[in-house]
Chains A and B, each alone.
Chain A
Amino acid sequence: MLQPKPLFVERMQELLKDKQDLQTYLDIIHISPQNSIRCNTLKIQPQALKKRLEKKWKIEQPYKEYPEIMIIKSELEPGELGKAIEHLLGYYYVQEISSMLPILTLKPKPHETFLDLCASPGSKTTQAAAIMQNQGFILANDKDLGRIIILNSNLEKTGTTNQLVTKSRGEILCQKLEKQNTKFDKILVDAPCSGEGTLRSSPKTFIIWNPNMIKKLSKIQKHLASSAIKVLKKGGELLYSTCTHAPEENEEVIQYLLDNYPLEILPIKLPLKCRRGLSEWRGKKFSDELKKAVRIYPQDNNTEGFFLCKMRLK
């Protein structure tokens, strides 16, 4: 079994000060996450899908207000979720619950314009298209062609019709769009990150993880999120998210944005246990506003780890 590096444990100790809490965290990161899916409401309604799936699996809908989110409680063979006819037909998308949270928070509406700056593999883009009912407009961008092929395949499978997919570095795309005055109602920056929150599904992160990477990523994230603000409409909303716990990639990035742009942080309401954003990390003080940001730890809801912050441009 792969083990976290001592430096990683040290950092997590600083984040999770309670010993029992830390131990629960260190235990759960070695356990595979639950099998969760999202009903693709562009093709089928949740109750109809549930009825079909219940013929083969035990299904739970953990959140009353989001019936599209389902957990498969039965033991599954490897690849079983991907082989099911309902999956091949695009009736559901295999997606970890924490990865559904950015769109549940940002809530792009039909007829709004939405930019998904780092869109591949398309979990959030397809989720946005579903709640926008294929109306409005989605610009889904990614910089890597290989990842765009997967994005396009997922957009096809889910029956998404309101999107344009572009290949560009996010910062460069935003600079160019700004020049032609193209602006969006809502933007998602689900930034590339060190992936500390995905240890349960991707244990290779135990090996890849190193503190230098966090520093590098923090710079990239600040640049990327700053660029996005330039194409956000006044009064528009930006959701910044990562699947990591590192404060340098989360609160520090948001603090940088608050220092440089007229933004207000909006409260987030989600149907699971959320912890507040940090007000300090290793001597660096953050604005009190950052308490409205949300940290999701795997031991709190039996999910992966995540960070979310929703901002409005004044």
Chain B
Amino acid sequence: MIKFLNNKQRKKLQEQLKEYGISELPRHLIQTGKEKIRAFSGEISGQDIINISKQAYIEGIGLHILTIKDNQIRITLDGLHLLKPTKKIIELTKQQADSWFQGKSLNLQAEKGFMILKYKEDLIGMGKSTGNIILNYLPKERRVKN
């Protein structure tokens, strides 16, 4: 099921994302399933999408940028590249970044909650900090395979 977010829903999201220094959201936001929010810049109307969906199975639309679960927002790796957050960023060392790309959680003290990880100029993902550990949410296909 594809649902365009209305103004009220967008504003709520915008408020929640301010803590990461994100002020601008993509023009169209779409909710697919219960949790996924996707950015869509395709220049067609909602009605056109409905028309196409009547003719073929829609297997994807736009870019998955956020997951909302239990009222908490997790920004995907590609969502970070699109939204360009400026706050709640932890800078990693090379060794930590290497571990992150191997899918390992990091032993690192940080404030609790979701934090953005950066290595040099690259945003490399979002992890959940328990205070002492950053849990790794990097999808398998984006990890270094041994």
Contact = CB atoms under 8 A, between A and B. Distances in A.
A54 B12 CA distance: 44
Interface residues of A, number: 42
B41 interface: yes
A90 B81 contact: yes
Query: Which of A89, A113, A151 gathers most chain B CB within 10 Å?
Result: A89
B81 A176 contact: no
Given A90-B81, A135-B43, A137-B42, A165 B52 contact: no
Interface string A156-196: 11011111111110001100110010100000000000000
Interface stretch (A8-16, A138-146, A202-210): A138-146
Interface stretch (B3-11, B13-21, B57-65): B57-65
A85 B120 CA distance: 12
B91 interface: no
Contact of B42 (A83, A141, A159, A162): A162
Task: Provide the main secondary structure of the chain A interface.
Answer: mixed
Nearest to B77: A89
Nearest to A82: B145
B59 A163 contact: no
Given A43-B81, A168-B56, A85 B41 contact: no
A183 to B, nearest CB: 12
Contacts of A136: 42-43
Contacts of A156: 63-64, 76, 78
B63 A139 contact: no
A161 B26 contact: yes
B101 interface: yes
Contacts, number: 108
A88 B125 CA distance: 11
Interface string B118-146: 01001010000000000000000111110
B82 interface: yes
A148 B122 contact: no
A113 B42 CA distance: 9
Given A85-B101, A89-B122, A164 B55 contact: no
A138 B60 CA distance: 12
Interface string A61-104: 00000000000000000010011010011100000000000000
A166 B52 CA distance: 9
A250 interface: no
Interface of B: 26, 39-44, 48-49, 51-52, 55-64, 76-78, 81-82, 97, 101, 119, 122, 124, 141-145
12 contacts: A83-B145, A88-B144, A89-B122, A145-B59, A161-B39, A162-B40, A162-B42, A164-B42, A166-B57, A168-B55, A172-B56, A177-B52
Interface of A: 43, 79, 82-83, 85, 88-90, 111, 113, 134-141, 145, 148, 151-153, 155-157, 159-168, 172-173, 176-177, 180, 182
